[in-house]
Amino acid sequence: MTSKETAYFAAETADQKNAHDIVMLNMQGISIMADYFVICHGNSEKQVQAIARALKEEAGEKEVSIKRIEGFNNARWVLVDLGYVIVHIFHKEDRDYYKLEKLWGDAPVFTLESNFSSGQ
């Protein structure tokens, strides 16, 4: 699975758990941390954990390697490291506070509704 396909897989998995405002940032040429960031939020700690848990389970089924999961117990900002893709699952209040999309505002943004398969 390419990094782009992995980002789309992570976004779809989050969407299946009713994650809100799912965006994918193309970080290639912008950051050395990852090729893509996937950012979403849940409205409660339980929903944040459910999204992270589903991602872990689906990744296992698809044989996508999870390097690390951070923040699961507090469920305010869970980071799931999929190698070239980093998934940020926020609690809504924390997403509003950190505004990660604004920090990386020069990165091209994709959503599930956009044509993610286009050449970017």
Predicted pLDDT at 117: 46
Give how far Cα 115 sits from Cα of 4, 20, 24, 43, Å: 12, 18, 12, 27
Q: Which domains does the chain have, with CATH numbers?
A: 3-110 (3.30.460.10)
pLDDT in tens, the chain (120 residues): 899 999 999 999 999 999 999 999 999 999 889 999 999 999 999 999 999 999 999 999 999 999 999 999 999 999 999 999 999 999 999 999 999 988 888 899 988 876 544 444
Predicted pLDDT at 9: 96
Predicted pLDDT at 111: 83
The answer to whether residues 64 and 9 touch, using CB atoms and an 8 Å cutoff, is: yes
58: left (phi over 0), alpha (psi -120 to 50) or beta: alpha
Predicted pLDDT at 116: 46
